[in-house]
A and B are shown apart, each in its own frame.
Chain A
Amino acid sequence: MNHFVTVLAVVSTVLVLVPLVAILGYLIYKGASSLNLAFFTHVPAPVGEAGGGMANAIVGSGVILGLASLIGVPVGIAAGVYLAEYGHGTHLGNLVRFTADVLNGVPAIVMGISVYALIVAMQHHFSGFAGGVALAIMMVPTITRTTEEMLATVPHAIREAALGLGIPKWRTVMSISLRTASPGIITGCMLAFARVAGETAPLLFTAFGNQFWSFNLNEPIAALPLQIYVYAVSPYDEWHRLAWAGALVLIVMIMTAVTLVRIFANRGALKGGH
């Protein structure tokens, strides 16, 4: 029986790994050959012209994701802290938890349309800002629920130790509870980030995309998923190849960002705990 369970676990692990390796392998196979310096330094070439790159989309994605994280991470963590430390068992707490769960299930395209109605229709123009807000809203529920769950795993004894030292509650939450739970919370933020980094639908009606350089958050802005989408549905072989290359770059960017945050977060962590 022991043997059986071990085999089952190993087989399942392999089954989980196969799609990941297959996707990455296929992306490298299809996309790597189209990667060159121009891809990272040039904006898309006009229809009919060869060459061109996705430099503006790479930067645009960075800008939109930066804005989304800047809004989504603090709001998500703050809401999670409220749920775990203050709103336990209150009506508002239950409402926030329910809202977060529902929000988590809202389809990405609906999020795009909602932000279109809320921001784009009001301003009468597409903008990178609207795209960032749409992605931020999609990040919040994951971060909130992870933060709440991770704070719940912080032992009560540790909070008591802090309160017993005459440390005020807010300080205990900030410096003891959040710090103890931080590895899990960072994982949650990374999950949320990786999820929205590849989203196309919420950006279609918000950031809209742009064939030229644009750093202005008040204007339509290019994004990798949008550019991949436009190229992938086009009738040109050259554009299909660029779409594959774009997908490869997107995945590598997400993996790099997640790895960097992990390394950064682990630096200074003390070894030899439990």
Chain B
Amino acid sequence: MGVDIRVENLNAWYGHVHTLQDINLHIPSNHATALIGPSGCGKSTFVRCLNRMHETNPVARAEGTVLMGGLDIYKDASPVEIRRRVGMVFQRPNPFPTMSIYDNVASGLKLNGFRNKRMLDEVVERSLKQAALWDEVKDDLKRKSGASISGGQQQRLCIARALAVDPEVLLMDEPASALDPVSTAKIEDLIFQLKSQYTIVIVTHNMQQAARVAANTGFFLNGKLVEFDATTKIFTNPSDKRTEDYITGRFG
């Protein structure tokens, strides 16, 4: 089951650039939450702070409090522990090219020392079914490389891989922006299915996508969270003039 995320006074830097400034918000559990905003507004940096991927860049740092189901991820846990509980799906599908489809899904468990074959079989099947990919690949699980399937399938494979370690939160950084419309629709269907079991945070450029899948939407601009509210409110009656300008296409 998903957990809620409470962010308090989060600041992030790349070198001397202050990319996130005093972010405060509460992301409810078991819902999809969309983050929108123009390129470079800090929304990707923000999700990368939620699983401490931000700090893998040597010049990057973050300060503030992120409480995940009450656990302070910057104080009470190591980055590796956090990333096992927070799955991430990236903009471009990034399956491991030297691994089979099966090994891609099992990688998170296998590379952390999990060896029980029967359990792995079950987890791989369950994850691929959750990612709506099972029927398309079940005959080629160990025969085909994770990089040999189509781009849309690869992205669903990456979702299955993230789900296999049984995370509480699923971060998606523009998961459909490199995909065709049909594949995009499949990913959106998936998010719709998965949000009852996981807390999903999805960064998107596509405002229709945010409107379709997310209960709440946050609007980022120049490193600040301008507005965070129910998606219907953001898109029909935003409180901030800048939000209105952005969603009506006046800039960005």
Contact = CB atoms under 8 A, between A and B. Distances in A.
Interface of A: 155, 157-158, 160-168, 171-172, 175-176, 179-180, 182, 269-274
Given A155-B94, A176-B96, A274-B147, 12 more contacts: A162-B96, A165-B111, A166-B81, A166-B82, A166-B83, A166-B112, A167-B80, A167-B111, A171-B111, A269-B98, A270-B144, A273-B145
Nearest to A164: B88
Nearest to A168: B80
Contact of B53 (A164, A179, A182): A164
8 contacts: A164-B90, A165-B161, A166-B80, A166-B165, A180-B96, A272-B145, A273-B97, A273-B147
B38 interface: no
Contacts of B56: 160, 163
Nearest to B110: A175
A167 B112 contact: yes
B19 interface: no
A273 B80 contact: no
5 closest cross-chain pairs (CB), A and B:
A166-B84, A166-B83, A272-B148, A165-B108, A157-B94
A160 B53 contact: yes
A164 to B, nearest CB: 4
Contacts of B99: 270
Contacts of B108: 165-167
A87 B56 CA distance: 15
Interface of B: 51, 53, 56, 80-85, 87-88, 90, 92, 94-100, 107-108, 111-112, 143-145, 147-148, 158, 161-162, 165
A59 to B, nearest CB: 36
B42 to A, nearest CB: 18
A184 to B, nearest CB: 12
Which of B81, B82, B111, B148 gathers most chain A CB within 10 Å? Answer: B111
Contacts of A155: 94
B162 A165 contact: yes
Which of A168, A176, A269, A270 gathers most chain B CB within 10 Å? Answer: A270
Contacts of B82: 166
Given A167-B108, A273-B145, A161 B158 contact: yes
A77 B53 CA distance: 27
B220 to A, nearest CB: 21
A158 B108 CA distance: 13
Nearest to A271: B145
B100 A165 contact: no
Contacts of A176: 96, 111
B87 to A, nearest CB: 7
Contacts of A272: 144-145, 148
Contact of B100 (A158, A162, A175, A270): A270
Given A163-B83, A274-B147, A175 B94 contact: no
Contacts of B83: 163-166
Given A165-B107, A166-B108, A157 B92 contact: yes
A162 B145 CA distance: 16
Contact of A164 (B51, B111, B145): B51
A270 B53 contact: no
A172 B165 CA distance: 16
A160 B94 contact: yes
A164 B158 CA distance: 11
Contacts of A175: 111
A161 B94 contact: yes
A93 B82 CA distance: 30
A180 to B, nearest CB: 5
Which of A155, A161, A163 gathers most chain B CB within 10 Å? Answer: A161
Contacts of B85: 166
Contacts of B144: 270, 272
Contacts of A157: 90, 92, 94
A21 to B, nearest CB: 35
B178 to A, nearest CB: 11
Contacts of A270: 98-100, 143-145, 148
B3 to A, nearest CB: 16
B148 A273 contact: yes
Nearest to B147: A273
